[in-house]
Amino acid sequence: MARARSSSSSPAAPAGRAPRRASPARGAVPDLDRVIHERTRLAIVAALAAQSPLSFRDLKTLLGATDGNLSVHARRLEEAGYVAAAKSFEGRIPRTQYRLTADGRRAFERYLDHLEALVKHARG
């Protein structure tokens, strides 16, 4: 259990820090990707994995997030290279469309594998 605890001690890395990747060498249950592990970012990535692209407004409605909260977490995912944002204008209204990058999809799949590994590990 100590290994599992160490793999999940902090839900999110501070903004600007490079994403912490898995280190399978440490044991059977690797570290979770801290960038994705934070709840709002996990929801953004999961939504974009199912349906890409989604606009800022769609994501806000879908996740029930505030503008500020969604902006901060989307930017964090952009910095990690997991999400790409395309900005445009509709008339005078700015519009941002998000999509999951290939890196983001791989990271999400890795994260799912890690969760499954945690479940298997806990079940013995």
Partner 1 sequence: MDPTRFRSQPDQPPDVGGRAIDNLRFIRETMEKAIAFTAVPGWGGVGMGVTAVAAALLSTLARTPEEWLGVWLVEAFVAFSIGAWAMARKARRAGATLFSGPARRFLLMLSPPLFAGAVVTLALARAGQTALLPGMWLLLYGTAVATGGAFAVRIVPAMGIVFMLLGCLTLVCPPSWGTAFLACGFGGLQIGVGVVIARRHGG
**Structural element, H or E, at residue 107:** helix 102-123
**Applying CB under 8 A, does 122 fall inside the site for partner 1?**
yes
Q: C-beta of 40: minimal distance to partner 1 in Å? A: 8
Given 11, 21, 24, 66, the residue binding partner 1 (CB under 8 A): 11
Name the burial class of residue 23, with classes exposed (0-12), middle (13-18) and buried (19+) by CB atoms within 10 angstroms of its CB.
exposed
**Applying CB under 8 A, does 39 fall inside the site for partner 1?**
yes
SS3 content of the chain, % helix, strand, coil (to 5): 55, 15, 30
By CB under 8 A, what part of segment 72-91 binds partner 1?
Answer: none
Name residue, tokens 């983001």.
Answer: 104
Cα–Cα distance, 23 to 33 (Å, whole number): 10
**Applying CB under 8 A, does 47 fall inside the site for partner 1?**
yes
**Applying CB under 8 A, does 52 fall inside the site for partner 1?**
yes
Given 13, 46, 72, 85, the residue binding partner 1 (CB under 8 A): 46
Q: How many residues bind partner 1 (CB under 8 A)?
A: 37
**Applying CB under 8 A, does 96 fall inside the site for partner 1?**
no
Cα–Cα distance, 105 to 69 (Å, whole number): 22
69, HSE (Cβ side, Cα atoms, 13 Å): 13
Question: Which residues of the chain form contacts with partner 1 (CB under 8 A)?
Answer: 1, 4-5, 8-12, 32, 37-40, 42-43, 46-55, 58, 61-63, 112, 115-116, 118-119, 121-123
